[in-house]
Amino acid sequence: MIRIEHINKKFKKLTALKDITAQFEKGQVISLIGPNGSGKTTLIKAILGMVKADSGQIFFSDELINGDPSYRSQIGYMPQIGRYPDNMKVGQLFRMLRNIRNVTADNLDKELINKFGLKEIFEKPMRTLSGGTRQKVSAALAFLFDPDVLILDEPTAGLDPLSSEILKEKILKEKNKNKLILITSHILSDLDELTTHIMYLQEGSMEFFKAIEQLREETGELKLGKAIARIMKGEKFNSAWIDRMFEIKNEKRIY
């Protein structure tokens, strides 16, 4: 579905992506993980064509991504920080995107709009929304057009536990519809039930890209967080990041 070949990207002196090659297929849920600044978002943006790679190619359904934006009609993207026009009302935003994508009302997936109760805030301008509500809007937009590929950049960050659960259920549902889903997250316990493959990035290069079963077998751990931690300890990865991973997990237990 998506094929990445030898992608390189530098922002001035900083290397954001270093020779990344991978192939993603339908039915896979791929978790992109790695410390902050390891290039996860840059990789996603390269797939979306928002960042232009210095060298290398990306193919979407065997077609080279090269200026023609039509492939993006098959992608639902949920950004890390959803930024929307201040003066626009929530309802307008949904109507506008529908208008732009030329999709009829019957083909829309309104499940998240209903479950998050976004209908009630349709008349509110975007600037008055809290961070979490914005995330809900972003999520609902990503799923709205029932796309074949979902790209979710830290989808559960900033969501309350209930909404986060709703979103995870929705992702699981879409996974069962044989869609390709790319997720980045720092909360590994969230990814546990969803993911089929793990791609680990560190300072722009891909350290490994493995199926979860393989990872479990190699490490002997059932929990994703522990499996990753074991791999990283063995290979002397950035230990500060491992500590932070466990911190987040402990916080989660409060709920």
Partner 1 sequence: MLKLSKYVLYDIVRSKVILAYTAFLFLVSFSLFNMEENSSKAILSLLNIILIVVPLISMIFTTIHYYNSYEFIELMLSQPMSRRKILLSEYAGVGLSLLSSFLIGVGVPVLFFSPDSIGFSLLFTGCSLTLVFTSLAFLTSVMARDKARGIGFALLLWFYFALIYDGLILLILFNFSDYPLEKITLVLSALNPIDLGRISIMLKMDVSALMGYTGALYKDFFGSGAGTLFTAGIMLLWIVIPLWLALRVFKRKDL
Q: Which pair of tokens denotes residue 124?
A: 């509110």
**Residues within window 206-235 making contact with partner 1, judged by CB under 8 A:** none
Residue span binding partner 1 (CB under 8 A) among the ranges 64-72, 109-117, 172-180, 225-233: 64-72
Helices (H) and strands (E) in the chain, counts: 9, 10
Name the DSSP letter for residue 125. B
| Neighbour-count burial of 248, counting CB atoms closer than 10 A to its CB (0-12 exposed, 13-18 middle, 19+ buried) | middle
The verdict on 14 binding partner 1 (CB under 8 A) reads: no
Among 8, 15, 73, 189, binds partner 1 (CB under 8 A): 73
The verdict on 70 binding partner 1 (CB under 8 A) reads: yes
Name residue 114's amino acid. N
Q: Which pair of tokens denotes residue 235?
A: 């290979």
Sign of CA dihedral 162, 168, 169, 170: positive
The verdict on 105 binding partner 1 (CB under 8 A) reads: no
Count the site residues for partner 1 by CB under 8 A. 28
Among 79, 155, 158, 204, binds partner 1 (CB under 8 A): 79
The verdict on 77 binding partner 1 (CB under 8 A) reads: yes
- How far does the chain reach from its first CA to its final CA, in angstroms? 38
Residue span binding partner 1 (CB under 8 A) among the ranges 17-25, 55-63, 71-79, 180-188: 71-79
Binding interface with partner 1 (CB under 8 A): 11, 45, 48-52, 67-73, 75, 77, 79, 83-88, 96-97, 99-101
